[in-house]
Amino acid sequence: MIEIKNLKKIWEDDKSSVLEDINLTIEDGDIYALVGRSGAGKSTLLRCINGLTSYQGGSLTVDGCEIKDLKDKELREFRRRVGMIFQHFSLLERETVCQNIALPMQCWKYSKEETDKKVKELLELVGLTDKMNAKPKNLSGGQKQRVAIARALTMDPKILLCDEATSALDPKTTNSILELLLEINQKIGITIVIVTHQMEVVRKACNKACILEQGRIADEGTVRDIFIKQPLSLRRLLGEEEIHLPPRGHNIQIAHMVNDIRDGELFGKMSKELDYVFPILDGKIQEYQNDSMGIFVINVDDAHLEMVTQYLDEHELNWREMTDLTDEKKGGEA
Ligand SMILES: Nc1ncnc2c1ncn2[C@@H]1O[C@H](COP(=O)(O)OP(=O)(O)OP(=O)(O)O)[C@@H](O)[C@H]1O
């Protein structure tokens, strides 16, 4: 378990604060997303977790062990158990796939026999057995990331840190890498922490997330709750300011998990029961780990606002009025 309490980090050079009062818990087996705008402090927080950068206040423990108290040798030992992958894969171009994967075991002086056995297992896990003798320059981006994942798993880490690991990949390849990460998470129970700016990565792969804004946690919780409640921080991140809505009436956004809708077609039923026809301005279904979420925007006139919002509350549907990003009515918090 990774426990972070009141964490504070200041850059030494200019004494600027980059992380302030960070509190979060990442349970064993979580796939946890750290999201936020560029410069919010995501990579810095990730680097605090594996001791690549220090922190000045608060506490960061991994399985009860305070990272900033670790001496050099202990820190090296700790890092063996934390794998890391990056956006640009960081492979050695002159070495083959096999040699790249074997690298950490060679550094730690494992026997050739043990190394070969492990590399073979990992090649199978990441689906690259047929590319074992290829050089990175002859691999696609997705294949390179598979090699990097295999290399990160050689020392049987308990934690895998992913820093924008799918940002350089096309959507289809991103999906295949996410499927691999989910498979690894389920097969070996590894905890995965993902820094990303890709919301589809958060929705498809992660069970929990934290939104960082200027070095502070703006929102934190299960991915399902964050996306269904659509907090201000998420909308700022999604750039909702740019959506143009009708100036008349009330634009109500409704979010629900598809599995939660038991009574068939939601809006037809609502319109019939309320005897009120309203326009649906926008609607999309987004894929989540084990479900899909419907997000719709309807426009309601003044006279029917109370009736509609009461209906939504009674049916425990998450809704909010899309006014501006700071002042809004909200329901469905239950
Ligand atoms: N060594 C450093 N010294 C001083 N400031 C730094 C240093 N490294 C990073 N920063 C600053 O700290 C802030 C957070 O950086 P960080 O890389 O953690 O952000 P991020 O959320 O990961 O951003 P991005 O999504 O662009 O990678 C930024 O303002 C950055 O300029």
| pLDDT confidence of residue 215 | 96
Mean pLDDT of 16-40: 95
Q: Is the pLDDT of residue 332 over 50?
A: no
Indicate if ligand 1 lies below 6 Å from the C-beta of 18: yes
Give dist(CA 43, CA 53) in Å, integer. Answer: 10
Tell me the residue range of the domain where 295 lies: 243-331
For the chain, the domain total comes to 2
Among 14, 43, 194, name the best residue to mutate to test ligand 1's pocket (greatest count of ligand atoms within 8 A of Cβ). Answer: 43
Domain boundary residue among 168, 196, 229?
229
Regarding whether 260 and 218 lie in a shared domain, the answer is no
Task: Say if CB 162 and CB 195 are below 8 A apart.
Answer: yes
Last residue of a domain, one of 194, 229, 264: 229
**Average of per-residue pLDDT across 77-84:** 90
Give the residue carrying structure tokens 């939660």: 260
pLDDT score recorded for residue 326: 47
Per-residue pLDDT band at 324 (split at 50, 70, 90): low
Instruction: State the average pLDDT for the chain.
Output: 89
Query: Greatest CA separation found in the chain?
Result: 77
Domain annotation covers residue 150: yes
Helix (H) or strand (E) holding 269: helix 266-274
Long-range CB contacts (within 8 A, 24+) of 311-315 = 311/270, 311/273, 311/274, 312/252, 312/254
Residue 235 forms part of a structural domain: no
Does some domain include residue 30? Answer: yes
255 and 186, same structural domain? Answer: no
Same domain, 73 and 185: yes
Ligand 1 atom at minimal distance to the Cα of residue 40: 21
Q: In whole angstroms, give the CA distance from residue 46 to residue 43.
A: 5
Q: Which of 50, 7, 22 is nearest to 158 (CA)?
A: 50
Contacts of 296 (CB under 8 A, 6+ apart): 253, 254, 255, 267, 280, 282, 283, 284
**Is 210 in contact with 231 (CB distance < 8 Å)?**
no
Are 251 and 225 members of one domain? no
Ligand 1 centroid – CA 138 distance (Å):
33
222 and 311 housed in the same domain: no
Q: Which of 13-22, 48-57, 317-326 has the lowest mean pLDDT?
A: 317-326
Q: What are phi and psi of 294, to 5 degrees?
A: -100, 130
Residues 42 and 156 in one domain: yes
What is the 11 CA–ligand 1 centroid distance (Å)? 10
Q: Has residue 247 been placed in a domain? A: yes
Strand order of the sheet with strand 17-26? 17-26, 2-10, 57-62, 65-66
d(CA 161, CA 30): 12
Output the domain CATH number for residue 282.
Answer: 3.30.70.260
Task: Determine whether 22 is exposed, middle or buried from the number of CB atoms within 10 Å of its CB (0-12, 13-18, 19+).
Answer: buried
Residue 141 lies in a domain: yes
SS3 253: strand
pLDDT digits (tens, 9 = 90+) for 255-278: 888 776 655 578 888 899 999 999
Q: Is the CB of 13 under 6 A from ligand 1?
A: yes
Shortest-distance Cα residue to atom 7 of ligand 1 = 11
Angle of CA points 40, 237, 302, to nearest 5°: 145
Which among 229, 262, 292 is the end of a domain?
229
Q: What is the mean pLDDT of residues 167-195?
A: 93
Q: The domain that contains 56 carries what CATH number?
A: 3.40.50.300
Asked whether residue 270 falls in the same domain as residue 319, the answer is yes
145-166 pLDDT, tens digit per residue, is 999 999 999 999 999 999 999 9
- For residues 122-137, give the mean pLDDT: 94
Checking if the pLDDT of 114 tops 90, the result is yes
pLDDT, mean of residues 72-79: 90
Alpha carbon of 2 to ligand 1 centroid (Å): 22
- The answer, yes or no, to whether any atom of ligand 1 lies below 6 A from the CB of 115, is no
Residues 6+ apart with CB under 8 A from 72: none
**In one letter, which amino acid is 287?**
E
- Taking only the tens place, the pLDDT of each residue in 190-226 is 999 999 988 889 999 999 999 999 999 999 999 989 9
Rounded CA gap, 278 and 178, in Å?
39
Whether 215 lines ligand 1, by a CB cut-off of 6 Å, is no
pLDDT single digits (tens) 98-111? 999 999 999 889 99
ipTM confidence score: 0.95
Examine the pLDDT at 334 and tell me if it is beyond 70: no
Residue with the smallest CA separation from ligand 1 atom 28 is 39
